Amino acid sequence: MHILPPIHREKTIFVALLALLVLGLSLSFLTWQNLRQQRLAADQHMILAAKTIASGVEGNMGWGMRHSRGMRSERPLFDTFFQELLASPNVLFVGVMDNAGQMLLSSENIAKFKIFTEENLAALRQRGQWHGFATFNNQQVLLFAHRTKPLLARHFLSSPAPLRPEHLPMESRPFLILGLDMNEHLLMYQDARRAALWQTAYILGASAALWLALLTLLKRREQGSRVRELEHFQSQLLDNLPDGLLTLDCNGIIRSANPAAMLIFGRGTQLAGMQWHDLSLHRTLGKNGHCETDIAWCQYSFENRFLEVLTLPLHEQCELDNRTLVLVRDRTRIKTLEASLQEAQRLAAIGRLAAAVAHEIRNPLSALRGFAQYFASKLSLQEPEQTYAHTMVSEADRLNRVITDMLFLSKPRPPKQSLVQLDILFENLCNLVRLDLENRQAVIEQDFSVPVVWADQDLLKQALLNLVMNAQEALPQQDGKVRVGSTAGTAPGRESGNNAAGVWIFVRDNGRGMDEEQREKALEPFYTTRKDGAGLGLAIVHKIMRDHGGHVDIFSDRKTGTEVRLFFPYKTV
């Protein structure tokens, strides 16, 4: 099942990625600036050291010149001084150069080394001081040069110098050159740079790790949200599913059931843990809850309910975790509607038949009955002619009643309901059947716990009359008893499936009763077990109850008799 991801996830990831990018760029820029400042500070330190060394060299050379007698005696002194200076760990070479770039005096290791390019030499002449970096014997060297002081410069001039040094022209002064070793300085700088780079890389790595952790957390939260949403959806789906759903293990034990299944089987929370065959479904289902036929919907009845069951194995083999999925549909309403439709079709056929033949039969039937009465009066006291004539009259009347009942079934008549006093209705009913009951030596009793009912008085009287006449025909020769009564109660709604409140009116006899097949077919039109019956009495009762929104229940036993119960729902405003 696809669950729509949260709409803000991409926005969160984009913001986190942008923050990581900004952090990386900012940190890289700050690291570069820091290294640049460190390099500048180190270079300034080296330049300051070079200036200090140059001042010392120039001072020592001036002191040596003042105590020497001439240039020939100064040269060995300078060579010795240069050798001592080169013995220090940072000074690589030293020398004196004129404006043309020719070395006037230098240590032996740069005698053939071209120190300055024309561009650098021009900058030195212009500014009087210059520093830069070069490679000397595979070593990084700081070159530092500046014009010598006038007192030292006049000793290196080939032309006669002024008597006073401050009168010496600036452009005629030579340059003092120093070469300082930068390896130690570069090693320290490289260590600092390496540490800064490692620190930056560590911070970036930690930030990337945090970003990945954030992505993982977001993904897990999203998955958790999807799982929770899916669980909530499944829970809502199963709880509100109109069909029952159960799971069985390989031993046929019910492991889980949704509310619809508990409502269908009427077991509540006790359904889980029960054996599947304890629900009286083992007759149509095989082992482990499987249908004996191919996997399909199986139909059967369960406690006056019509159910359809579909079993689906969740695994091919029976293992410890093997389970079977069972789907249960309550088709009671569909079956009731189908039965009502079939009955309506039968009644429609009866109606069409009655409408077609009623007028054709009644006109000649009236004539035949009239002639039969005429012959009965003319043949009075003549046997067996008089008996034959009376039989023709009674049979004509019976045929007329059948046609009347057929027309009643075929013509829809909405009931005109009102409050009916049952005791008054019972008195009228007794007046109609008293003679027949006395001939059978039977009695009729009343037991109205509810005195009134909301119904059509004429239709209710007709229904009760049909039921009492049927009960009278089933009574024994002696001690026959018919009881008519009422009680309040509820009945399952045939349309909604919910319990409806109303009034039950029953007609009970102690007659011969019916078997199961007769009870099931009793409400069908033209079904009868009496030789002289038309089979329309209970069909008319059924139609009357259906028009009232109620229904008919029949309970019968060969030993105790029959009870027909009519349910009239309360009036809803």
264 and 330 Cβ atoms separated by less than 8 Å = yes
- Cβ neighbours of residue 315 closer than 8 Å, sequence gap 6 or more: 321, 322, 323
Residue 490 CB neighbours (<10 A): 13
288 and 314 Cβ atoms separated by less than 8 Å = no
Helices (H), 249-329: 259-265
Q: Please list the residues that pair with 567 across neighbouring strands.
A: 504, 551
Instruction: Quote the pTM value.
Output: 0.46
**Can you point out the beta strands (E) in 183-339?**
244-249, 254-257, 298-302, 305-313, 323-330
The amino acid sitting at 442 is A
Strands 499-509 and 480-492, how do they pair? antiparallel
Q: What is the pLDDT along the chain (573 residues), one digit of tens a residue?
A: 545 555 555 666 777 778 778 877 888 888 888 888 888 887 888 888 888 888 887 777 766 666 655 444 555 666 666 677 776 777 878 888 887 777 777 776 665 566 777 888 888 888 888 888 877 777 778 888 888 877 666 666 655 555 455 556 666 788 888 888 877 777 887 888 888 888 888 888 888 888 788 778 878 887 888 888 888 887 788 778 888 888 888 777 888 888 888 888 876 657 777 877 777 654 544 444 444 445 677 777 777 777 888 888 876 555 556 778 888 888 877 877 777 777 777 767 766 766 666 666 766 777 777 777 777 777 777 778 778 777 777 777 777 777 776 666 666 667 888 999 999 999 988 888 888 888 888 899 998 999 999 998 888 988 898 899 888 888 888 888 999 999 998 876 554 445 678 999 999 998 888 888 888 888 777 777 776 666 777 888 888 888 888 889 999 888 888 999 999 988 754
Q: In angstroms, rounded to a whole number, what is the distance separating the alpha carbons of residues 105 and 315? A: 101
Three-state SS at 518: helix
List C-alpha distances in Å: 355 to 177, 362, 363, 404, 524.
140, 11, 14, 11, 20
Q: In angstroms, rounded to a whole number, what is the distance separating the alpha carbons of residues 440 and 437? A: 5
Q: In angstroms, rounded to a whole number, what is the distance separating the alpha carbons of residues 243 and 259? A: 9
327 and 245 Cβ atoms separated by less than 8 Å = yes
